[in-house]
Structure 1
């Protein structure tokens, strides 16, 4: 199951569920992006405020995958 948190005034859905790693971030007033690292670092482009930045990929077995968000 994914985790929802509210860092830095935005909404971030992230984690691993059903074999997928997800990072999805939305902020009401700042440009932002989301990234995952499942052995291959992948990132959305910068999104305008109030536009969701989301990316997902296959999770690795027996290894740790990572989800990130950042401001542009």
Structure 2
């Protein structure tokens, strides 16, 4: 199972870090556990205008163990 956050804009390290932190906070708030490192998915070629670019940060998650 995976969790993702989608956003538009430029491919910058700061945008990735901002959305990664947002995603990891949402995963924890949902009671899930991240498994492995988040991945940065960039869907559009570099010549696409920044406002039309689509990006995602994805992390695999595990459901919490129940007692």
Q: TM-score, normalised by structure 1?
A: 0.28
Q: TM-score, normalised by structure 2?
A: 0.29
Which structure carries more strand by proportion? 1
**Greater relative contact order (Cα 8 A, min sep 6): structure 1 or 2?**
2
Which structure carries more helix by proportion? 2
